[in-house]
Structure 1
Amino acid sequence: MSSQTSAPAKLDGAVLKIAGVVVLGAIMSILDVTVVSVALPTFADTFQASLAEVAWTMTGYTLALATVIPLTGWAADRFGTKRLYMAALLLFAAGSALCATADSISQLVAYRVLQGLGGGMLMPLGMTIMTKAAGPDRIGRLMAVLGIPMLLGPISGPILGGWLIDSYSWHWIFLINIPIGIAALIYAQIVLPKDNPEPSESFDFIGMLMLSPGLALFLYGVSTLPEEQSVTAPKVGIPMLVGALLVIGFVLYSFKPKHPLLDLRLLRNRNLTVASVTLSVFTVAFMGAGLLFPSYFLQIHGETTLHAGLLMAPQGIGAMLTMPIAGMLADKVPIGRTVPFALLLITAGFFAFTQVGPDTSYVLLCGSLFVMGLGMGGTMMPIMTSALRTLTSHEVARGSTLLNILQQIAGSVGGAVMSVILTAELNDSTPVPGLTGPTGAPVTEAGLAIGAQMDPAVAASVPDPSILERGLAFAADSFATTFMVGFVLTALTLIPALFLPRKREESHLLDDDKTAAPVILH
């Protein structure tokens, strides 16, 4: 343990150089989630796709993240962290380049999956590299360094994405990753220490072959529901049924291997179970509906993508203010006494979006986003930290993997479900007589109004302005209904949150030679 006690208190130059590499990778990975969120309506317009289809650019990416996170620890031991980190950078940059060449929504989704396979490894590998370089006694300072891209991502991502789309084209939200990726590759080659791989536990390929296709099939079925209008339709029912059976099979199987893909045995720990349920419900509700906030500004208010990104900034600013405070409180006050209040803030802020119309005040909406951000900063990280604190040191890596994957799955489900609800609501709008879309389907008043908001030429071609007024009001109501579902689910998160620990727990995060595996927020 001398290596631990002799480690300098401050992060020295060598560690900061390594931190630079990790921060570059984190910036690419985290920004890519928030940058793309403002581009969804652009993708729908460019590729003539529905919102449910376009949502797969997010769903496919997060599913790829969930698939690759448990593989990362095993692969790092097998091949070495430096080699694997550079391979992840290369895969992410290559996926970004391919995304910029996509000429159909299916191609873009496929390339986003490839991009996600690289992006999913960047943060866990970066944390492994940093904890080895800094030592366990400097994890707090380390998280402060890596917290920078986590805090700035929700603020700068939508703004950067909006500016690139407005000033150049949607291709640049992907092309910008290429020079950053090249710089990070060169930087990593120079400063990262040489690998000394030590193969350890086996990887659960059987579990991966059940869980990943199972989730993908189930979500595909959910996402095609608005098009087919029936759960019994073959394109909906068959994928959902097969996917559900594969996931159930995985759950039953996962208790057998010594090193399963997801160690569900850890859920015997009450704190981890309560945290998992709370985070899963919250992520489905808030992250799913949150993807639609920029779409509301773009499609109902007719804002540019840059302005939509700027209007989302108050949420990130709110989170930036409370996250450091919540981190300090988590060490002193049981989270069962703080997190419910943070969830109440989110719920209160969310309510304004359930009442949106075509002319809802920006002061009200931005104020609501700021309040939600304040709650966000005091919710997710404290819950995760508290859950891991009660695990023994050899369980922490598996516990953080479980929480990471559950979060990615819940985000994917939330995005798909909210897109399905919104699309189904919009499809109920009155058809415009004599107008059909590129696929031959009738154009609805809501669809025409949204098109007019995003393209003045469409508005000029409509002879009866009352059609646009009715359509826009209906579209705003559709968003409000979807946000109401998210609001109710967010409010329901308070139920499991009441079971979070209200007394101080003894920490088991560190022992003589182990460090905690931090949970990564994407």
Structure 2
Amino acid sequence: MSAVPTQGTAQSTVPVPFSPALRRAIGVIMIGASLSFLDSTVVNVALDTVAADLAVPLTEVQWTVTAYLLAFAAVIPVTAWAAQRLGAARLYLVSLLVFTLGSACCALSDSIGQLVASRALQGLGGGAIMPVGTIIWTRMADRSQMARVMSMVGIPIVLAPMIGPLIGGLLVKGAGWQSIFWINIPLGLVGAVLARLLLPRDDGSEAGPLDVPGLVLAAGGLVGLTYGLADIGTRAEATARSIAVLVTAVVFLVLFVVRSLRVPHPLLDMRLYANRLFSAAALTMFSLGVALFGGMILLPLYFQIVRGEDVVSTGLLLVPSGVGALAANRLAAPLTDKLGGGTTALLGGLIAAVCTIPFLFLTAGTSYPLLALAMATRGAGIGLSLTPVMTSAYRTLPAQKIKDATPQLNVLQRVGGSIGTAVLTIVLSHQLAGRTRPSGRAQAFGDTFGWVIVAAVLAIVPTILLFVTERAQRAASTAHEKHS
């Protein structure tokens, strides 16, 4: 066994190999995590088909996306308490079964009301899968293995927005919109059987009373925030209703934070942010969500609106982003161990920002190979950013605090992505207004990518903070060792 690195330092010894139990857990949980993240994007390409089949307007069908996101956001705050009370492996199994049941209900729906309700059930299961899975992984992993474990976590997070449209398009075109839900059932059942057989048994323990007021405030705030941002994204403008919902949501979340700092057993431990390294990592996670995931909505729309590509072709054209992200994600763990999380995240952020510049010059005839190269390198920056940030956040915390940190980091990433999506949707809508020619529409996308670059540059700021904080902690640790 190699030595465990000091908190905040890079690993300098031979990596500790994963135990067989950890390998099994990673394989099992990747099934549920991939299904959960893919279903947040794969449905988008089927909206027009569903609207025509169920004979309802597109504005009503949009609720199938919103309902999933609302339920997803509502369940995340309670996952830490439920994982301790029920046992993380048991909660993961239940969550995956709920998600699978919701998928079956979606596939069998013959009205928009049934479909929206089924998507909400899906979201309740899907929202808990990733936080609980991460709790299981991090409990089983040595601190020196954290970067490699987090690189596994990053795979579904990075790939889902990029390959979701392709998978959805192929399924809808080949077998109808119900197939995007039917395919979840055998995969979900296989994942559930494997979870029952292979995940470590955990009967749970005393978790204290459920903080019901805290749950109401946290879930209400996150649901309101998600709904308000989704409403803005759908309408491409901020209405009085969406603003009122967002203000109310912020008030709920502020009250939740204030209350959590005052009660002995809060739903989520806000005192984690007293740790400067965790705070820097959390801020970086939020900023990356705004800059990187928000920007992912533009290229699919460019290919469809400007280049006239269908859903399947658009999905295929987005593959280079996923390839670049996946390749860089494999490098992220060893680089994080060697250079530190802050340095690696800063490098990834710089690559993503610089490689967004070519998209400023989009035209109606921009070469597809050139676009593929730009997408691959930008995807590499994205893939290189996430793993080190999550690694830094988890390495700095005691093992018993992982359950509190996991849902918070998931929320920050999701909210950041929602904010980026809402803002860029409004910007793009205004840029496209009055532009009917392909050249003008291409310029509208190029101008909107200018906002993506601004967001990417702003996202670099917290990575610098993470870099500086890690160096300071490393220096303090070295000085302490010399005086010991």
**Structure 1 residue 327 and structure 2 residue 293: aligned?**
no
**Structure 1 residue 253 and structure 2 residue 259: aligned?**
yes
- Larger helix percent: 2
**Structure 1 residue 98 and structure 2 residue 108: aligned?**
no
Match of 2:344 in 1: 338
Alignment check: 8 A CA contact 2:260 2:266 kept: yes
Match among 260, 267, 271 for residue 273 of structure 2: 267
Match of 1:358 in 2: 364
- For structure 1, the 5+ residue unaligned runs are 430-445, 447-469, 508-522
**Structure 1 residue 124 and structure 2 residue 123: aligned?**
no
Match of 2:465 in 1: 499
Match of 1:486 in 2: 452
Aligned residues: 458
Residues 79-228 of structure 1 aligned to structure 2 (within 5 Å): 79-101=86-108, 108=115, 110-129=117-136, 153=160, 156-192=163-199, 195-224=202-231
Alignment check: 8 A CA contact 2:340 2:388 kept: no
**Structure 1 residue 406 and structure 2 residue 372: aligned?**
no
Cα 1:348/1:179, change in 2 over 3 Å = same
SS at match of 1:251: helix
Cα 1:141/1:228, change in 2 over 3 Å = closer
> What is the root-mean-square deviation in Å for CA atoms of aligned residues?
3.6
1:226, 1:125 → 2: CA distance?
A: 29
1:259, 1:500 → 2: CA distance?
A: 29
Q: Deviations over 1:159-215 (max 9, x none)?
A: 322211222223322221012122233344444565523222333321221232233
**Structure 1 residue 24 and structure 2 residue 1: aligned?**
no
**Structure 1 residue 78 and structure 2 residue 44: aligned?**
no
Q: Deviations over 1:453-474 (max 9, x none)?
A: xxxxxxxxxxxxxxxxx35444
Structure 1 residue identity aligned to 2:223:
A
Structure 2 residue identity aligned to 1:307:
S
Identity of aligned residues (%): 37
**Structure 1 residue 418 and structure 2 residue 424: aligned?**
yes
The alpha carbon displacement at 1:283 in A equals 0.8
Structure 2 residue identity aligned to 1:476:
A
TM-score by length of 2: 0.81
1:475, 1:307 → 2: CA distance?
A: 19
Alignment check: 8 A CA contact 1:41 1:295 kept: no
Moved more, 170-179 or 395-404: 395-404
Structure whose CA Rg is larger: 1
Moved more, 390-399 or 139-148: 139-148
TM-score by length of 1: 0.75
Q: Deviations over 1:252-304 (max 9, x none)?
A: 22212223333332222222222222221221122122133223222322222
1:285, 1:390 → 2: CA distance?
A: 25
Alignment check: 8 A CA contact 1:165 1:305 kept: no
2:339, 2:142 → 1: CA distance?
A: 26
Match of 2:58 in 1: 49
Cα 1:247/1:191, change in 2 over 3 Å = closer
Cα 1:212/1:133, change in 2 over 3 Å = closer
2:455, 2:22 → 1: CA distance?
A: 42
**Structure 1 residue 293 and structure 2 residue 292: aligned?**
no
Match among 364, 369, 376 for residue 375 of structure 2: 369
SS at match of 2:364: coil
Moved more, 193-202 or 341-350: 193-202
The alpha carbon displacement at 1:118 in A equals 0.6
Match of 1:515 in 2: none
